[in-house]
């Protein structure tokens, strides 16, 4: 799969994704940091990448229908400290990578993975 990591997630996740055999880049690598959501999702769509983010606004399926994109993974950790977010994502990454994400919104919370 092809992923783009939003600026609000630790860059170390890029290595995790690449080591698992996936193509991954980041919003920062592409010079898209601070880009409005609509423009960011257009760039992600053009690259045919699944966006990984913690931005709840991007998960608004009325504004940004996931079926219009390669997919969106929304991380909802209980705390937002950098180390805690990294651990939260690393623990759940194997299960996430087993799911067909194309055109879907996956909400990753403390106790569940919910597809929309």
pLDDT tens digits, residue range 47-65? 999 999 999 998 888 888 8
Which stretches of the chain score pLDDT less than 50?
Answer: none
pTM for the model stands at 0.94
| DSSP state, residue 78 | S
CA within 13 Å, CB half, 114? 10
Q: At what angle do helices 82-96 and 12-19 cross, to 10 degrees?
A: 20
Name which CATH class applies to 2-115: alpha beta
The pLDDT score that the predictor gives to residue 65 is 87
């Amino acid at each position: 799969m092809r992923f783009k990591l939003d600026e609000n997630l630790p860059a170390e996740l890029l290595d995790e994704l690449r080591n698992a055999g996936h193509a991954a880049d980041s919003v920062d690598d592409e010079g898209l940091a601070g880009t409005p959501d609509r423009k960011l999702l257009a760039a992600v769509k053009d690259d045919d990448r699944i966006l990984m983010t913690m931005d709840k606004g991007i998960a608004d399926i009325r504004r940004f229908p996931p079926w219009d994109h390669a997919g969106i993974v929304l991380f909802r950790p209980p705390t937002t400290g950098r180390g805690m977010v990294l651990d939260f994502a690393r623990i759940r990454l194997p299960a996430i990578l087993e799911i067909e994400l194309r055109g879907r919104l996956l909400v990753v919370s403390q106790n569940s993975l919910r597809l929309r």
